[in-house]
Structure 1
Amino acid sequence: MSPVETDADVEHEIDRFSREHAAGWIAYRRERHCSPEPSGEEHETSHSVCERLKSLGIDAHIPERGVGVVADLLLGTADELTPAIAIRADIDALRMPDRKSVSYASIKEGLAHSCGHDVHTTIVLAVAELLTHLKQSMSDHLPSARFRLLFQAAEESCDGARWMVEDGFLKNVQSILGVHVEPNLLAGQIGVRYGVFTAQVDELFIDICGRGGHTARPHSTTDPLHAAAMLVCQLYQMVPRSIDVRDSAVLTFGELHGGMASNVIPDEMHLAGTLRTTSAESRTELIDRIRSICRQFEAVTGNEIRVDFRHPLGSVVNSARETSAFQKAATSIVGRENVIILDRPSMGGEDFAVYMDHCSGSQIRLGCAASLPWPHLHSPLFDIDESAIALGARVMTRTALSLAGMPQLLLTSPAAHSSGKDEDGSA
């Protein structure tokens, strides 16, 4: 039997198993969706994932921190020393309400899976089921490989990936794969991008301290509130004109606190926001410019202004090898016309970037909208077209196997020849 025939059998079995188990995967996603847990507190989710993996015969454990799950799945002659391909899912939810009218809406007040991490968790569990089934039913057709499954806590707080690295779970990992749902793409579409995939993110904190007083006599104060209002406007105007216009950057404040009474000018104002950039040069230029403007405002307003940038997070930069494997896997399933080459990076942050300081990797966008427009990520109405779950599992499984030594797996589907475009999406 030729390699193409062998890989076609594997491909067929992936698709057959996915159709057969799609309803169960949807049920599990709904179970997780109604029981969200915030960053660093994903104890129930971690236990559920760990037990499900152990039921498949996979060596899985919860790290000493008490949240997250790490598991190794071995094929062929691979052992614990074999360089691994990691497959990552984030598992935490958001502190926000769920306002959907569905049977699986959150039962926990003020917590919601509005960023799709329940979907990511289910997809990687489905990949584990698929690989286990293939190992049991057609092991002679598979390469020797070690897959490390990372169910990461605390993505929203940007702590979880760092924890995984600090605890040593990226040692001897050569590649890492990730997926994120995308409500701007229809279910059945896959978004891929080579190179910079997400923005660098810095949290910005500004304290303005001066002399408050009576609102009837602002002339006898340094009016920190007025200074804060002017500073926000000035910084918003500054960003687009301080860097190369071809670069993407955005500064947004989400907090402005100060004062306790309508007739009292406060002594202090506190601002917090994020600076998002897509190049190291723009980041450096804007941080320097923000500090410079704040120094100028100190002189003009007579207030002390303290600026603090915290928790820097780098960009996800998709590697060519893994991204190409994702693109080919997606094309083999949904056809070239449904593989969307994303023309610009997301301005969102993603701590998947932390892993890429230690190995190559790639992340894709999985279309999840039943129609467009669709409720966006972090919306209290966010939900998915659940057909995306099985598709995500199929794409991830094929990509992982191709990187492990089955490149022909991506060339056997007629869907791969259903478009007149080249594999890079060009005409």
Structure 2
Amino acid sequence: MPDHWQQELHQHVEDIADELVELRRHFHAHPEPSGEEFDTSLLLYQRLSELGLTVAMGPEGCGVVADNSSPAPGSARIAVRGDIDALRIHDEKTAPYRSQNDGIMHACGHDAHATMAYGVAAVLSRLEKAGQVPWPLAWRAILQPAEETATGAKAMVAAGVMDNVAAIFALHVDPKRLAGVVGIRKGALTASCDAIKFTVIGQGGHGARPHESKDPIAATALLVSSLYQFVPRANDSLDGTVLSIGRIAGGENANVIPEQVEVEGTLRTLDAQVRAKSIDHIRQVLRGVEEITETRIEMEIPADTPAVLNDQTATELLRKAAIHTLGSKQVEKIPRPSMGSEDFAVYLEESPGAMFRLGVAKPGTEHTLLHTSLFDIDESALAHGVEILAHAIVLACSPECEFQSR
């Protein structure tokens, strides 16, 4: 099959480049936090509907799903995922598109992710309408809410967005790489993340007579120290295991021993067996602290996200698309996984797929990191992300691709 479609795809991306910048700036100026992305979802619904796609809203009015024309019987769709929620961070930039919603900001690049997922739908629609596709395409754009709270992907999957999806692609902006450079990795890309909450229940009393109480603060101090010391050491040092406590709350008065203390943290691992072993060891530590301190410790895992494990075939398609778009010297191999987490992993439990890192740093400027109040991107990267993802989807729709025969 001739490669003429690749030049046509590139031209379509160039044709909508200004629209991509305009849309990203709109999202950046009007951010909405997890679970409240109503206006963002409505705008995406309208834009995708104008492309002539079959569009549906996500659960409770947050999120959008868009399909091209129904695929031929027996064929499966290739999906692209973009997330749309913002963080509760105050935007301190002076750019004209800075956040207009005080205390809320797109500090993780989801404005760019949503824009690029829309852009993929736009250029694939143009390619199909112009009769420039090398073979029939069956694809789906998934714009999900609530990535930051690790609940959006699960809700979208429960709503059926992965039905008849053979593979799925996504990206994440990377402020440590220059625009025009991407990072790709097969296998583990990010860690699993379990949010863990402990409630240490004791017996309150007067600060002058601790022997008459069962001090939950003392028990908490022992708990945290023991967890930090013994949980990582239960695993091979080469297996990534990170346990961090981020919140401790208990007591109201300096001279009163409280009844209970709340402790919250996260456990991050790269392997399912290591994760299970670590959780078992945490429970062993709890039992030991309970016995020594005569307190009771309740443990729950209110949220969990698996590790992103990039499929080999999907990763290779992204690599080919990136090399064609940017050149081989601009495509870097990511040497090791991140201990951060991404709920894109939830989709990968349903179908194979892959995520890559898209460089968004501006040359000659200080890098602004994710989840910070000055975060911004080089908007030339938007076109790069759209072209790579769209190119990979076309390749994955080929009758010769294994995704079409699974």
Per-residue Cα deviation, 1:216-275 (whole angstroms, up to 9, x for no partner)? 333433321122123212211223311011111101111110111222221210001110
The alignment status of 1:177 with 2:172, answered yes or no, reads: no
Question: Which residue matches 1:67?
Answer: 62
The alignment status of 1:386 with 2:398, answered yes or no, reads: no
Question: Which residue matches 1:405?
Answer: 398
One-letter amino acid matched to 1:230: L
Contact 2:178–2:360 (CA<8 Å) still a contact in 1? Answer: yes
Shift of 1:115: 1.2
The alignment status of 1:89 with 2:82, answered yes or no, reads: yes
Contact 1:181–1:366 (CA<8 Å) still a contact in 2? Answer: yes
Shift of 1:79: 4.4
Contact 2:150–2:304 (CA<8 Å) still a contact in 1? Answer: no
Question: Which residue matches 1:127?
Answer: 120
The alignment status of 1:10 with 2:5, answered yes or no, reads: yes
Hey, what's the Cα distance between the residues in 2 that align with 1:228 and 1:80?
A: 59
Shift of 1:358: 1.6
Hey, what's the Cα distance between the residues in 1 that align with 2:301 and 2:155?
A: 21
Shift of 1:170: 1.2
- Which of 63, 82, 99 aligns to 2:92? It is 99
Taking a change above 3 Å as real, the CA distance of residues 273 and 373 of structure 1, as seen in their structure-2 partners, is farther
Shift of 1:142: 2.8
Question: Which residue matches 1:221?
Answer: 213
Answer with 391-400 or 233-242: which moved more: 233-242
Shift of 1:208: 0.9
Taking a change above 3 Å as real, the CA distance of residues 127 and 258 of structure 1, as seen in their structure-2 partners, is same
Count of paired positions? 400
Question: Which residue matches 1:367?
Answer: 359
Question: Which residue matches 1:34?
Answer: 29
Shift of 1:373: 5.8
- Give matches, 1:143-182, under 5 Å: 143-182=135-174
Hey, what's the Cα distance between the residues in 1 that align with 2:30 and 2:72?
A: 35
Question: Which residue matches 2:251?
Answer: 259
Structure 2 gaps of 5+ residues are 402-406
Shift of 1:18: 2.4
Taking a change above 3 Å as real, the CA distance of residues 79 and 72 of structure 1, as seen in their structure-2 partners, is farther
One-letter amino acid matched to 1:167: A
Taking a change above 3 Å as real, the CA distance of residues 113 and 301 of structure 1, as seen in their structure-2 partners, is same
The alignment status of 1:49 with 2:44, answered yes or no, reads: yes
Contact 1:82–1:145 (CA<8 Å) still a contact in 2? Answer: no
Hey, what's the Cα distance between the residues in 1 that align with 2:222 and 2:369?
A: 31
The alignment status of 1:325 with 2:322, answered yes or no, reads: no
Contact 1:177–1:362 (CA<8 Å) still a contact in 2? Answer: yes
The alignment status of 1:288 with 2:280, answered yes or no, reads: yes
Question: Which residue matches 1:202?
Answer: 194
Shift of 1:80: 7.6
Identity rate, percent = 39
Contact 2:12–2:127 (CA<8 Å) still a contact in 1? Answer: no
Q: 2:61 is paired with a residue of what secondary structure?
A: coil
Question: Which residue matches 1:242?
Answer: 234
Taking a change above 3 Å as real, the CA distance of residues 285 and 373 of structure 1, as seen in their structure-2 partners, is farther
Hey, what's the Cα distance between the residues in 2 that align with 1:37 and 1:191?
A: 28
Taking a change above 3 Å as real, the CA distance of residues 407 and 31 of structure 1, as seen in their structure-2 partners, is farther
Question: Which residue matches 2:404?
Answer: none
Hey, what's the Cα distance between the residues in 1 that align with 2:343 and 2:229?
A: 29
One-letter amino acid matched to 1:12: Q
Contact 1:329–1:399 (CA<8 Å) still a contact in 2? Answer: yes
Q: What is the CA RMSD across the aligned residues, in angstroms?
A: 2.0
TM-score of the superposition, structure 1-length normalised?
0.89
Taking a change above 3 Å as real, the CA distance of residues 280 and 26 of structure 1, as seen in their structure-2 partners, is same
Per-residue Cα deviation, 1:25-52 (whole angstroms, up to 9, x for no partner)? 1111010011111222111011100111
One-letter amino acid matched to 2:279: I
Structure 1 segments of 4+ aligned residues over 4 angstroms from their partners: none
Shift of 1:141: 4.2
Per-residue Cα deviation, 1:320-369 (whole angstroms, up to 9, x for no partner)? 11100001111122222221211211212212111112211111111111
Shift of 1:140: 4.8
Structure 1 gaps of 5+ residues are 409-427
Hey, what's the Cα distance between the residues in 2 that align with 1:406 and 1:97?
A: 48
The alignment status of 1:342 with 2:337, answered yes or no, reads: no
Hey, what's the Cα distance between the residues in 1 that align with 2:391 and 2:327?
A: 15
Shift of 1:148: 0.8
Answer with 289-298 or 305-314: which moved more: 305-314
Per-residue Cα deviation, 1:58-86 (whole angstroms, up to 9, x for no partner)? 22121352111111113xx8348631001
Hey, what's the Cα distance between the residues in 1 that align with 2:340 and 2:400?
A: 32
